[in-house]
Amino acid sequence: MVVLNRIYTRTGDAGETALGNGERVSKASLRIAAYGTVDETNAVLGIVRLHTAGADMAKLDAMLARIQNELFDLGADLCVPDTGKDLGYEPLRILPKQYERIEAEIDDLNGELQPLRSFVLAGGHPAAAHLHLARTICRRAERLIVELAGKEGEHVSEGAIAYINRLSDFFFVASRWANAKTTGDVLWVPGKTR
């Protein structure tokens, strides 16, 4: 259970923070950057959801609400590296059913869309534009997580990598879905300004 009675602790004033297992690390560590970028993705979803509150986007809003919660799960997964040591509790890990559900939701949303015949520019409905922002931040989180997983002595669950990979695809399809319900996609026109 999370209990936050004090917001500031002064324990990070020297540039370090604690992981979920109690280990102190630099705030500039790759692990902190990875789950900090996951948190940034989540914050953008809060902005997206300002634009999905209506009945016409209720389906998408429910998906985003669940994803926001799962992004905290992902942060918890990344915050407690699996070193094989007994922690006295079972750490939270991303499970296959979580990214499999995202795959099903991608298929569901995509099933309502016309085939894509051009690259899409960020824009259109505000929800779609912010979903593109979420997609790019999510891709940055993925790059950081993959880099972390490749470092000797670092541990990242397979579920964490699979989840973040599916999630950016979801954001792309969700942005198209939001535009299909409203303004339509903003398409790239190669060489338009030549």
- Where residue 139 falls among pLDDT bands split at 50, 70, 90? very high
pLDDT of 187 > 80? The answer is yes
CATH number, position 107:
1.20.1200.10
Note whether residue 147 is domain-resident: yes
22 or 76: which leads in pLDDT: 76
What does the alpha-carbon distance between residue 187 and residue 192 come to, in Å, rounded to a whole number?
A: 11
In a domain, 124, yes or no: yes
- Secondary structure class of 25 (helix, strand, coil): strand
pLDDT at 27 over 80: no
Tens digits of per-residue pLDDT, 77-124?
Answer: 999 988 778 888 889 999 999 999 999 999 999 999 999 989 999 999
Whole-number percent of the chain with pLDDT over 90: 78
- Please state, in angstroms and rounded to a whole number, the distance separating the CA atoms of residues 29 and 190: 40
pLDDT computed for residue 25 by the predictor: 72
Q: Which is higher by pLDDT, 134 or 158?
A: 134
- 107 falls within a domain: yes
Backbone angles phi, psi at 121, to 5 degrees: -90, 150
Helix residue spans in 80-157 (DSSP H): 96-110, 126-150
Does the pLDDT value for residue 12 go beyond 60? no
Position 180 in a domain: yes
Classify residue 9: in a domain, yes or no: no
Look at residue 50 and tell me if it is in a domain: yes
Host H or E run for residue 186: strand 186-187
Residue 194 falls within a domain, yes or no? no
Residues 15 and 69: their CA atoms lie apart, in Å, by: 28
126 in a structural domain: yes
Q: How many domains does the chain have?
A: 1
Residue-number span of the structural domain to which 44 is assigned: 25-81+92-187
